[in-house]
Amino acid sequence: MISPHGSSQLNSLYVNDARHRSELLLEAQALPALLLNSAAAANATMLGAGYFNPLKGFMNLADAVSCADKMETTEGLFWPVPIVNICPDVDAIRGASRIALRDPNIEGHPVLAVMSVDAIETVSRAQLESIAHPLFATSDSQHPGVATFLALGNHLVSGTIEVLNFSYFQADFPDTFQTADAIRAEISQRGWKKVVAFQTRNPMHRAHEELCRMAMERLEADGLIVHMLLGRLKSGDIPATVRDDCIRKMVELYFPENSVMISGYGFDMLYAGPREALLHAIFRQNMGATHLIVGRDHAGVGDYYGAFDAQEIFLSSVPKGALEIQIFCADHTAFSKKLGRVVMMNEVSDHEKDDFILLSGTAVREMLSAGRAPPPEFSRPEVAAILMAYYQQNVQQ
């Protein structure tokens, strides 16, 4: 099986030993506590689940700056996105060597992790902006990722952590949320060697379905992992529960049995485009995938990134040998009225725009809200039915 990123074995930060976990929970009750924001809680969850291997905890300012500027830690590990715990107030933990990290997303704020504090550093607005700009390729405060990052606070708390649970993800998505270790175990159990991962934060329409099928066939892959984001998205995006239902229905009806794993991970979307695509590759390698599909505007938002910037960064900016996982580059896929099937648009040079069935997100939402299904060439009827029920319920509310 493919090696994890940066180490020979996967080192998840979740405390598996029940006795030690109980000891840490007891210790945490007497420790100074820091209530995390959602972004830091998601980072802790990803660290606990092994997706951010080989990191041992939250980065300090020097590592955060180095990752933003050079896409590597101060020790030379290839890493494209700072993994940080930034907060507005550290009065309750000032001077503490051990602290309890509390979950902002669950009522009562239970302890999510115990942290050994290496440093508490004050970060200026200028320093935050200097990190944000290369990460998001913009300083525009209208960019949802920039807006979130710059609003986290001005104190950076770094150090190793021991993770005690997976926040709300395991409870809310018991059939979907999986750790990197669990996915590796399932890949091994299935006997898969070549494994394609598909990243999604949206329901899968025909174009997505066929793109996955194309990648599997062209790579002669043993299996596909549809790996969906379960954390926070921007306003207006479809909730994870609805996406999960849509994807499961599509796989059940339109893919061969035992050819697809449906899984999810606990992270808040960054909308960082090319940089986030690199992070996606790292944690897909950590979970055992050998290939990642990277399509148009991967992890993008609005018009902040070029259509193929996420593909280009793999070709131009990843040092040789830094990643073992490979990418499958894809163009926009759409149903061809000429050929009667979904194609990659750059592979049919004899087509004009009108030869494709192309619908904007706005047009699709309007159809679904009105109780009209998009054409079957665009969306499977069974998937459209789930989405119509969701949109009509929201319209009525």
Q: Is residue 325 pLDDT above 60, yes or no? A: yes
Q: Is residue 140 pLDDT above 60, yes or no? A: yes
Indicate the pLDDT class of residue 361, thresholds 50, 70 and 90: confident
Average pLDDT, the chain: 95
CA dihedral 56, 62, 68, 73 (to 10 degrees): -50
Q: What is the pLDDT of residue 71?
A: 98
CATH superfamily of 174-396: HUPs (3.40.50.620)
Indicate the pLDDT class of residue 311, thresholds 50, 70 and 90: very high
Question: What distance separates the 2 farthest-apart alpha carbons in the chain?
Answer: 70
User: What is the DSSP annotation of 296-353?
Assistant: TTTT--TTSS-TTHHHHHHHHHSPTTS---EEEE---EEEETTTTEEEEGGG-TT--G
Q: Which segment, 30-34, 237-241, 329-333, is predicted with the most confidence on average?
A: 30-34
Q: What is the pLDDT of residue 396?
A: 52
Neighbour-count burial of 189, counting CB atoms closer than 10 A to its CB (0-12 exposed, 13-18 middle, 19+ buried) = exposed
Q: What is the pLDDT of residue 366?
A: 87
**∠ Cα 83 325 270 (to 5°):** 30
Q: What is the pLDDT of residue 258?
A: 92
Q: What is the pLDDT of residue 375?
A: 92
CATH number assigned to the domain with residue range 18-170, chosen from the 4 options 3.40.50.12160, 3.40.109.10, 3.90.120.10, 3.10.400.10: 3.10.400.10
Condensed to tens digits (0 to 9), the pLDDT of residues 67-101 reads: 999 999 999 999 999 999 999 999 999 999 999 99
d(CA 278, CA 262): 21
Tokens linked to 329: 């580059």
Tokens linked to 103: 């979950």
CA distance from start to end of the chain: 49
Averaged over 304-315, what is the pLDDT? Answer: 96
**∠ Cα 232 208 71 (to 5°):** 55
Q: What is the pLDDT of residue 231?
A: 86
Condensed to tens digits (0 to 9), the pLDDT of residues 47-70 reads: 999 999 999 999 999 999 999 999
Higher pLDDT, 394 or 111: 111
213: nearest Cα among 261, 262, 259: 259
Q: What is the pLDDT of residue 395?
A: 57
d(CA 238, CA 235): 9
Q: Where are the domains of the chain?
A: 18-170, 174-396
d(CA 186, CA 261): 9
φ/ψ (deg, to 5) at 89: -145, 125
Q: Is residue 233 pLDDT above 90, yes or no? A: no
Indicate the pLDDT class of residue 369, thresholds 50, 70 and 90: confident
**∠ Cα 334 335 339 (to 5°):** 130
d(CA 334, CA 367): 18
Same fold, 18-170 and 174-396: no
Residues taking part in catalysis: 201-202
Pairing of strands 111-122, 98-102: antiparallel
Pairing of strands 223-229, 195-200: parallel
Condensed to tens digits (0 to 9), the pLDDT of residues 269-302 reads: 999 999 999 999 999 999 999 999 999 899 999 9
